[in-house]
Amino acid sequence: MKLYSRLSIDRKRTVWAWGFLTVPILFYVVIRFYPTADAMVLSFQSWNLLGARSWAGLENYVRLWNDPVFWQVFRNTFMYLILGTPISLVISFVIAYNLDKTRFLHGTLRALYFLPFLTTAVAMAWVWRWFYQPVPIGVFNNLLSSMGIGQIRFLNSTTNALPAILAPAVWAGLGFQIIIFMAGLRAIPTSYYEAARIDGVSNWTILREITLPLLKPTIVFLVVFSSIGFLRIFDQVFNMTTNDPGGPLNSTMPLVMMIYQTAFSSYQMGYAAAQTVVLFTVLLVVSLVQLRILRDR
């Protein structure tokens, strides 16, 4: 107490600041950092959850490198990213851009777009899974067959399954992206637009020269945010392919699901940890690259 009373105001402030910060720091160290570090150690070990851990050196990584399923899964993961991020951003921007100009039923429309974001991924995945079934139960295929068009194999196809699973994931994320885009659009000062109008510039030029450049911080945020989301997609895939997880023929399996299966169905914790380290690295690199490219120029 004596020691404390002798401190200057500034020092006291620091003591208090650290006092408050200790709680989240402790929390993060125990709940986040320690397990992360432990997972990295585990990736060099072999462990079946029951017995003792034993050192395995680089074995897990070598196995990963030589595992054709891993490369397929790696490709799938990037397909989710490469298709998911641009498609969802373009759609949500178009909707936000037009919604911003609409007065009629503005609030209702915005709420409707936001609604899927509030829905549980599991419930949504199961509903879409039934939508996609062949006749007699699938809505889409029943519709097609009533119009005399042939059936489409949505989920039971090595080429269609991934986009079919991605579609509800994109749809569910739209609401959030639209709201962020609209906030970004509102933040652009109207004086720029007024000046442009006085100069008689076309709408297209306004969009290209004013709106998009000034939306850059919003776009950077959404690109990074949604990329991370698509890179760790799991719920949709898991629930839409429970019979043949990540199938058919691994064509929809993302990295997170491979990790889950290796760990909790095959009980190869070390191998799963190695996959986790790879996912961590991928997420880190992709996020850093995106931040750099989108921010500096």
Partner 1 sequence: MKSPRKAILGATTGLATLLSAQTLSAVEIEYWQYIFDTRVQAMDILIERFEEENPGITVNHSTFPLADYRTRLAAAIPAGQGPDVMQLFYGWLDSYVDEGLIQPLPADTFDPDMIGEEFFPMVGAMMRDGAYMALPTAVRSLALFYNTRLMEAAGLDSPPETLEEMIEMAREMTIRDGAGNFSQVGITSGMTAQDHHWFREVLTRQHGAEPYLDDYRTVNYATPEGIAAFEFYTGMETEELVTQSGFMDEPQAAFRAGRAGMHIDGSFRIGALEGTRGLEWGVAPLPLSADGVAANYGSYWVNAITQRAQDERKEAAVKFMEFIVSEEAMQLWLDVVGELPARPSVALTEDNLANPVYGPFIEGLEGAHTTLFVDETAQRQVLVDAVQRVLLQGMSPAESLTMAQEAEQAIIDRAQGN
**For partner 1, which is the closer residue by CB, 161 or 170?**
161
Structure tokens at 285: 């690199």
Q: How many residues bind partner 1 (CB under 8 A)?
A: 30
Selected from 136, 147, 200, 204, the binder of partner 1 by CB under 8 A is 136
**For partner 1, which is the closer residue by CB, 231 or 258?**
258
Q: Could you tell me if 173 and 226 are in contact, meaning their C-beta atoms sit under 8 angstroms apart?
A: yes
CB of 276 vs partner 1, minimal distance in Å: 17
The strand pairing partners of 55, in sequence order, are 45
| 7 lies in the site for partner 1, by CB under 8 A | no
Selected from 247, 282, 287, 290, the binder of partner 1 by CB under 8 A is 247
Helix extents (H) in the chain: 2-5, 9-28, 34-42, 59-66, 68-101, 106-118, 121-131, 139-146, 161-186, 190-198, 203-205, 212-214, 216-231, 235-240, 255-264, 269-296
Rounded Cα–Cα distance for residues 203 and 138 (Å)? 43
From the list 240, 231, 220, the residue with the least C-alpha distance to 290 is 220
Torsion of CA 143, 145, 147, 151, to 10 degrees: 90
**For partner 1, which is the closer residue by CB, 77 or 250?**
250
Per CB under 8 A, the segment of 6-14, 42-50, 214-222, 229-237 that binds partner 1 is: 42-50
| 55 lies in the site for partner 1, by CB under 8 A | no
**For partner 1, which is the closer residue by CB, 119 or 142?**
142
CB of 145 vs partner 1, minimal distance in Å: 6
Rounded Cα–Cα distance for residues 190 and 201 (Å)? 15
CB of 48 vs partner 1, minimal distance in Å: 6
Task: Restricting to residues 263-282, name those near partner 1 by CB under 8 A.
Answer: 264-267
Torsion of CA 241, 245, 251, 254, to 10 degrees: 100
CB of 202 vs partner 1, minimal distance in Å: 50
| 46 lies in the site for partner 1, by CB under 8 A | yes
Rounded Cα–Cα distance for residues 285 and 291 (Å)? 10
| 200 lies in the site for partner 1, by CB under 8 A | no
| 145 lies in the site for partner 1, by CB under 8 A | yes
Contacts with partner 1, residue ranges (CB under 8 A): 46, 48-51, 129-130, 133-137, 145, 150-151, 156-158, 243-245, 247-250, 261, 264-267
